Structure 1
């Protein structure tokens, strides 16, 4: 959804005064044609992909997409239209078309839209707090870094290696009839690689993917800080990432996986690293607490939800035990979901979803807030493109760290029979977000409080309630880290959003582990 551009054009900007003039054209045209409310999003979306394999550059792509999306309320119904012709005349016509769509929708019937009140903020701006714009860094510098990482992997015994650097800049301007004119400059970055090692005698291979975290940061993410390292089996980072060091560990660990013993199925205490646990949080907490899924309005990609309104209304639904505190958060610095204002012009915030194990809230936007008796939106509305309508999307959903000082090493010392899991892998979850199975990248057997060696073919199975009720210990905030993804899919037509999930290393007792090895013959 973008056109190729010269990298230098990525540093160009659109004057905010011009964007305000264009926005006013849309708002005035919508109101003049019968809209009771209107908002307009002027979006310029920039992506850069740098892709390498071994000692070769496979692709360098720079894309730009620029256009306007207009959403209106007329006769109690939503209407939406978009255009890539960013002129006053085209924008006025698009606003009139959006009103016509709303009026046509109103003829179908249904309850009128109820919008939560939202004050106008006037002219404001917000920018991801970056130190170095990734688009300002020469392509050669990025290529040299990736090829250096590949060379380190090949020198360490890798048979194949590929690495990618993905940079995103969303320049988003929002205006509404509430009186907001919000200019935002949002940056995200994701370095990644996959190392493959082969055992030709056994006819087998193993891989280890990077343990990097995509984040709402600039190129400074690739400048490691010594005091941010966390010791242990794998080198981990809280805010910065050392791709050269990670790829050396990855190459060694991929080789170790070739000779690791296969797991014996059974009940184990699991010690889950944040690089793994983020995905379990995403699937078993993030998706089922999206209010549109709870109501059955949304079922694409991830189904509906077992967390129906009656469970929330009871005020005592036991989602997990009292150690489990999970928040929605659009403010956390460095996270993928961090913005100042959402795509409805709502100032972002942080709120409780699971409190001491009890379901206390969901994720809601302006036209859903009244269902929960909320006086305002929670600020989690998002569209992945100017040409798509905004709707409820997952904020950063994170497990809060433990309050008692506890390190990973101390946690492992208390485990008699367990598995330490690092990195995300394949997963499966049902359409109610209840029964699930998760794999990972690295698995280490724990015996009598000590790491006893690497395992293979590990996956664990549980249902959401029994899993979160098995929470035994959570490391303190010193171990808190983010994981996440750029490609959280939802909607029809489908949209993708970027979202992070934070946690500290967490222990879950008595979880069922299966052996995933495929037997032939």
Structure 2
């Protein structure tokens, strides 16, 4: 990025705070110098200082993560730029095993003396921790890869796109929404670049360059006569792509009640449609509570997958390690051990996948230096596996880690995080229209919204952005005040149809929180549109 582009709108609000719900990481910084990568040879040299220092202090295993984390946030509202934020965080985290126990320390001073001191501190912490140890750490074996690299296969680095171009896009999106009926709009562009280097005593030296992008907006329309209002959020997905994500092609469009997108996204068109739909939502009929067959679009279903499948199959939750903060899981080890636990119908096949191109979780190697992979969690409706890392693998009889360890910053210790968890498409050729035409009484739900789920990830409630009533196989109008309630096992067993691969799309979360101290991660969830029979729907607009 050219410095003059970065400074283009400096008088309009560059700072480190913007919206209370959006986390800001790192220190404000012009991006010009930060976009220049650190020499790999220098990173290897720094890593070797840490590895040798830890070994000299008694560590039996050491891994080193050198991370440069860049973030950019461009925030607008109606005809104004509210904020432009660029941040950089750069440093080293050192994790060791000594006396059978973990220790961790980090530093942002990357001279040899400071690195060696941090490594020694990590070993000291491990030895102190070992005094409370009941069982030594058991690491799954991992062969070193030598010197390797991985880069996200982006077409256009979003950080190199001039700020003016990004601002112009967002302001044009805002203008289109206002002209089509919205009263208020916030539009935001989030960019992330993780430049990560990993080294370990296993013999790996891994350099990775990860890119993520999320364009989004929030629309509001107010009825001036009644004071009532409706909202509609963007139907975009955060993705592991470059700026090319914002250049939708004709083949990326999925025609239906609203235009949806595969692979790319048209933010301007979505804002126009969203504003028009706000007027339709104002006039929509309030739903009658009862049992409905639900047709759930991938833009909605990703969140249900995330909460009811992704989290309960994390092994640390199953084992109770997250009970104090994130909760536990109803998918206890005894259910997995039988290899017969009926999680869902036979149509339900759910995989964990850290390799899927364009997904938020796609990397070549995780933060333990394990090559990423794809594996089954639910096979033909049966629970068959969990998500595990190196020090958990032996608990479920795995010979190697599944490669789903991650830290959101060099200063934080890596731990088990969710892989991309996705519902596989139906095997028979079937469109969304094919699924709808057999529904007598149903609701078609598009977009994600609020949710609630219990601490074991079992009983839940979800709502969406757009709801369409289905009668005798046809869409008859828009609904509002819709939310559905179920429990995870009952819900997934009610799955009776899944559209084929041509409808498969990704949704996901940029800010999935977990751990103490808290960390975030980015994760995608794919699916095709799916049908769930006889689900309980409530009216959220009625007073009890």
TM-score by length of 1: 0.99
Q: Which moved more, 1:23-32 or 1:253-262?
A: 253-262
Do the aligned residues in 1 keep the contact of 2:94 with 2:105 (CA within 8 Å)? yes
Counterparts of 1:63-102 in structure 2 under 5 Å? 63-102=87-126
Choose from 424, 431, 450 the match for 2:474.
Answer: 450
Aligned equivalents of 1:6, 1:425: Cα separation in 2: 35
- Residue 69 of structure 2 is aligned to residue 45 of structure 1: yes
Tell me which residue corresponds to 1:286: 310
- Structure 1 residue runs of 5 or longer lacking an equivalent are none
In the alignment, what sits opposite 2:497?
473
Distance in 2 between residues matched to 1:10 and 1:483, nearest whole Å = 30
The partner residue of 2:374 within 350, 355, 368 is: 350
Instruction: Determine if contact 1:10/1:135 at 8 Å carries over to the other structure.
Output: no
CA distance in 2, matches of 1:88, 1:185: 24
Note the alpha carbon deviations across 1:122-177, whole angstroms, 9 max, x for none: 00000000000001000000000000000001111111011000000000000000
Q: Does the CA contact (< 8 Å) of 2:352 and 2:419 recur in 1?
A: yes
Contact 1:301 1:489 in 2 (8 A): no
What is the deviation of 1:302?
Answer: 3.1
Rounded to whole Å, the distance in 2 between the matches of 1:206 and 1:160 is 11
* Aligned residue number for residue 486 of structure 2: 462
* Secondary structure in 1 matching 2:311: helix
Structure-2 separation of matches of 1:109 and 1:275: 45
Counterpart for residue 60 of structure 1: 84
Q: 2:17 is matched with which residue?
A: none
Kept after mapping to 2: 8 A contact 1:287/1:302: no
SS at match of 1:493: coil
Alpha-carbon distance in structure 2 between the residues aligned to 1:10 and 1:159: 38
In structure 2, what is the equivalent of residue 246 of structure 1? 270
Per-residue displacement from partner, 1:477-510 (whole Å, max 9, x unpaired)? 0000000011111000000000000000000000
Deviations 1:198-218 (A, max 9, x none): 111121000100000000000
Out of 28, 31, 39, the residue aligned to residue 4 of structure 1 is: 28
CA 1:336–1:366 in structure 2 vs 1: closer, same or farther (change >3 Å)?
Answer: same
Q: Deviation string for 1:370-417 (max 9, x for gaps)?
A: 001100000000000000000000000000000000001111111110
For 1:372-383, list aligned pairs within 5 A: 372-383=396-407
Alignment of 1:363-442 (within 5 A): 363-442=387-466
In the alignment, is residue 148 of structure 1 matched against residue 172 of structure 2? yes
Which residue of structure 1 aligns with residue 224 of structure 2? 200
Of residues 291-300 and 311-320 in structure 1, the stretch that sits farther from structure 2 once superposed is 291-300
Q: State the 1:9 CA deviation.
A: 2.5
Question: Corresponding residue for 1:259?
Answer: 283
Indicate the residue corresponding to 1:316 in structure 2.
340
Partner Cα distance (2:227, 2:133) in 1 = 62
**Counterpart-to-counterpart distance in 1, 2:78 and 2:33:** 29
Is structure 2 residue 166 aligned with structure 1 residue 115?
A: no
Matched residue, 1:167:
191
Runs of 4+ in 1 over 3 A off after TM superposition: none
Q: Contact 2:326–2:515 (CA<8 Å) still a contact in 1?
A: no
Q: Which is worse superposed, 237-246 or 299-308?
A: 299-308
Q: CA–CA distance in 1 between the matches of 2:260 and 2:520? A: 27
2:325 and 2:516 in contact (8 A); partners too: no
